[in-house]
């Protein structure tokens, strides 16, 4: 009888352990994941219907996003686990790494052969493109192209990351010998800062790094020429910060003449408030507070204009009156990198005030922009999504989101909100699967593009890479493979890679923007290159909003001008490099557990739910 009692006891113990393990998925997120309305035991999701059941245009799957909360869950399908889970063969990964390098090489070589020294490559006609001198109002071109070999400059640190020291050295010498900023070109301050100034600073940091982790990237007889060029460019951008009553800069400046007399007094939040990383690095390398001072003043001016009711900012402001012309608050175009640089400025410079602003902004985003169920991987309702709302009321303004918002999961990874990042990334990936690209604007209610072009943007790849670094889940290698294959299939042209004019029809436009080489190719390459020195050297790196790498080290944490920077006080608390944790958010949590590494990051039933809601199945 004793053995029967023993067996019965073991059986009861096993049942008890199974019950406890069943509860852990519901309980564990509460230990780490930010929730607005915690609940302990979410009910099981309801079934969505048979596999392959399509949701027609205009269906009500996203209906509850029009209001707070949501309804209607999903039940699973094992086809997702079969496709995405399990180990990723190292041989395939190596081939994809080489394919990403080959994509960059084809685009870069085509630019150098057919377009240099002009700013961009026209990949369909194999020729170069510069500013549109015949039509100054063509801001789509003239805001970006300044007649300064933009694509070459923007690609410098990608050459280093890929270990091509000979071409990196050759390209740096070409920039030093041939590029001048003494040009009668009117450019957008934001674009010139992130694409040109940021790349010059990144390349300078790589060249002068005593450790040389990417191979020998030193330049013989280098005398800080790239730093001097960055200084020259920044001085030419400074007039944008003059004669504004708010301290918010003019959106555009002529590199030779200053602010044009007919300049627009309206600028976007991201354009005016995303200059601090590059300007701050320049100031700290030069020991000149001017550049960081004007950039910080602009950030604080924008921050002071946020709504007293919601704490949100709009997307377009008058730089003289401080009046919000655009009252939309969202995470896409016009707003995106403002939030990104609040956090990244803190990571780089250790100024506690930057973190406090970011924490407040993130909290307000969660309270007013986030729709859908409370937890990514648990409960009923629509999947989490961030929508566009009125900055003063928090009410929904429209039913579209744009492709730039796909950067946000990557930002959430940096603060440790990985679970929420998983869900938002899955939504954008579902759109990509449907079209083989991300339309510039996608209407989640109509399940169709509002603006159907795709200019080779990197944001989804960036978030994919950062989520893989955070989770090491092979799912994200599959995502990267899908993106790489789509780019090769739909965007490859005679002499490079071309913008998709229409993601449904797959027609092309004759333009390869510089960020394709500086960001899209770089993130794809790094996703598949596990042994890259950026991952293995022991150095800490941060990506700018243009994907340029900068080292996170003490020299950027020491400034000599606290007494003159607005709002700074002597002895203000600094954050040490090994203390980069966002207060009150889940960056204080552990990494995704090893036992989840080869499982789907998002449960199959929720993946199916998202695929149905974008009309994929």
pLDDT at 502: 98
> What is the dihedral angle through the alpha carbons of 558, 561, 563, 565, rounded to the nearest 10 degrees?
-100
**Cα–Cα dist 70/381, whole Å:** 5
Cα radius of gyration (the chain) = 25
336 in active site? yes
Which of 440, 462, 519, 529 is an active site residue? 440
Query: Which percentage of the chain shows pLDDT scores above 90?
Result: 77
Which of 119, 167, 417, 459 is an active site residue? 459
**Cα–Cα dist 132/201, whole Å:** 27
The angle subtended at Cα 225 by Cα 221 and Cα 193, nearest 5°, is: 150
pLDDT at 85: 79
**Cα–Cα dist 383/615, whole Å:** 15
Q: Please choose, from the candidates 583, 66, 581, the residue with its C-alpha nearest in 3D space to the C-alpha of residue 363.
A: 583
**Cα–Cα dist 105/446, whole Å:** 39
Report H helices in 73-182: 79-84, 90-114, 139-142, 150-154, 156-161, 165-178
Q: What are phi and psi of 354, to 5 degrees?
A: -65, -40
**Cα–Cα dist 115/109, whole Å:** 10
Query: Which percentage of the chain shows pLDDT scores above 70?
Result: 81
Cα atoms in the Cβ-side hemisphere of radius 13 Å centred on 334: 18
CB of 520 within 8 A of CB of 456? yes
Cα atoms in the Cβ-side hemisphere of radius 13 Å centred on 89: 4
Give the fold, CATH level 3, of 86-559+592-614: Glycosyltransferase (1.50.10)
Task: Provide the residue ranges of all domains of the chain, joining segments of one domain with +.
Answer: 86-559+592-614
DSSP 66: G
Q: For residue 453, is the peptide bond before it cis, meaning its omega torsion is within 30 degrees of 0? A: no
**Cα–Cα dist 433/427, whole Å:** 10
Report H helices in 274-417: 276-286, 290-304, 336-349, 352-368, 408-415
CA–CA distances in Å: residue 398 to residues 75, 333, 402: 29, 14, 12
CB of 168 within 8 A of CB of 199? no
292 in active site? no
356 in active site? no
**Cα–Cα dist 226/236, whole Å:** 15
Q: Is 389 helix (H, G, I), strand (E, B) or coil?
A: strand
Q: Is 158 annotated as ligand-binding?
A: no
Which of 119, 122, 154, 191 is an active site residue? 191
Which of 336, 351, 417, 546 is an active site residue? 336
Residues of the chain below pLDDT 50: 1-4, 6-8, 10-15, 17-64, 66-77, 568-572, 577-590
Element (H, E) at 479: helix 475-490
pLDDT in tens, 366-393: 999 999 999 999 999 999 999 999 999 9
Instruction: Let me know how long the chain is.
Output: 617
**Cα–Cα dist 204/212, whole Å:** 12
**Cα–Cα dist 194/338, whole Å:** 13
**Cα–Cα dist 574/550, whole Å:** 19
3-state secondary structure 162-198: CCCHHHHHHHHHHHHHHCCCCCCCEEEHHHHHHHHHH
Provide the CA 446 distance to its chain's centre, in angstroms.
26
440 in active site? yes
Which residue is associated with the tokens 């100054």?
136
CB of 208 within 8 A of CB of 234? no
594: exposed, middle or buried (Cβ count in 10 Å: 0-12, 13-18, 19+):
exposed
CB of 120 within 8 A of CB of 514? yes
pTM of the model: 0.85
pLDDT in tens, 342-365: 999 999 999 999 999 999 999 999
């Amino acid at each position: 009888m004793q053995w029967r009692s023993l067996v019965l006891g073991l059986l009861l113990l096993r049942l008890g352990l199974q019950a406890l393990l069943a509860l852990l998925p519901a309980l564990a997120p509460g230990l780490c994941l930010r929730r607005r309305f915690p609940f302990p035991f979410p009910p099981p999701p309801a079934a969505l219907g048979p596999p392959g059941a399509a949701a027609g245009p205009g269906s009500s799957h996203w209906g509850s996003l029009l209001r707070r909360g949501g309804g209607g869950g999903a039940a699973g399908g094992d086809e997702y686990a079969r496709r995405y889970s399990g180990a990723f063969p190292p041989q395939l990964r190596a081939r994809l790494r080489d394919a990403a390098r080959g994509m960059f090489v084809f685009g870069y070589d085509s630019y150098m052969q057919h377009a240099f020294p002009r700013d961009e490559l026209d990949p369909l006609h194999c020729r170069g493109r510069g500013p549109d001198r015949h039509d100054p109002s063509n801001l789509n071109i003239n805001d970006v192209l300044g007649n300064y070999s933009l694509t070459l400059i923007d690609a410098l640190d990608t050459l280093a990351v890929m270990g091509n020291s000979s071409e990196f050295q050759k390209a740096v010498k070409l920039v030093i010998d041939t590029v001048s900023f003494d040009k009668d070109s009117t450019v957008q301050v934001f674009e010139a800062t992130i694409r040109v100034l940021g790349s010059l600073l990144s390349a300078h940091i790589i060249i002068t790094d005593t450790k040389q982790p990417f191979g020998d990237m030193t330049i013989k007889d280098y005398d800080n020429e790239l730093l001097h060029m960055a200084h020259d460019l920044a001085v030419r951008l400074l007039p944008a910060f003059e004669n504004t009553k708010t301290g918010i800069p003019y959106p555009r400046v002529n590199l030779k003449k200053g602010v044009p007399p007919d300049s627009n007094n309206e600028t976007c939040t991201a354009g005016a408030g995303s200059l601090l990383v590059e300007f701050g690095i320049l100031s700290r390398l030069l020991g000149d507070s001017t550049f960081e001072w004007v950039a910080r003043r602009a950030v604080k001016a924008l921050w002071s204009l946020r709504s007293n009711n919601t704490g949100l900012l709009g997307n377009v402001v008058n730089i003289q009156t401080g009046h919000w012309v655009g009252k939309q608050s969202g995470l896409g175009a016009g707003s995106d990198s403002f939030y990104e640089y609040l956090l990244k400025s803190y990571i780089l410079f250790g100024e506690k005030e930057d973190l406090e602003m970011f924490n407040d902004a993130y909290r307000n985003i969660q309270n007013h922009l986030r729709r859908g169920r409370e937890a990514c991987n648990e409960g009923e309702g629509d999947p989490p999504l961030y929508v566009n709302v009125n900055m003063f009321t928090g009410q929904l303004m429209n039913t579209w989101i744009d492709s730039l918002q796909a950067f946000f999961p990557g930002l959430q990874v940096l603060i440790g909100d990985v679970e929420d990042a998983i869900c938002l990334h899955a939504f954008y990936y579902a759109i990509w699967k449907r079209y083989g690209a991300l339309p510039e604007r996608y209407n989640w209610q109509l399940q169709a593009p509002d603006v159907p072009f795709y200019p080779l943007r990197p944001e989804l790849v960036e978030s994919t890479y950062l989520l893989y670094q955070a989770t090491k889940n092979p799912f994200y290698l599959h995502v990267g493979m899908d993106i790489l294959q789509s780019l090769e299939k739909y965007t490859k042209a005679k002499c490079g890679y071309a913008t998709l004019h229409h993601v449904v029809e797959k027609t092309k436009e004759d333009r390869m923007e510089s960020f394709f080489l500086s960001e899209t190719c770089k993130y794809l390459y790094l996703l598949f290159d596990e042994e890259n020195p950026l991952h293995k050297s022991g150095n800490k790196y941060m990506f700018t909003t243009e994907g340029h790498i900068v080292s996170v080290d003490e020299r950027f944490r020491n400034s000599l001008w606290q007494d003159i920077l607005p709002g700074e006080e002597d002895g203000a608390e600094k954050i040490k490099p090994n203390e980069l944790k966002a207060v009150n958010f889940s960056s204080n949590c552990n990494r995704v557990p090893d036992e989840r590494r080869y499982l789907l990051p998002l449960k199959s039933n929720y993946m199916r739910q998202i695929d149905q809601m974008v009309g994929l199945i």
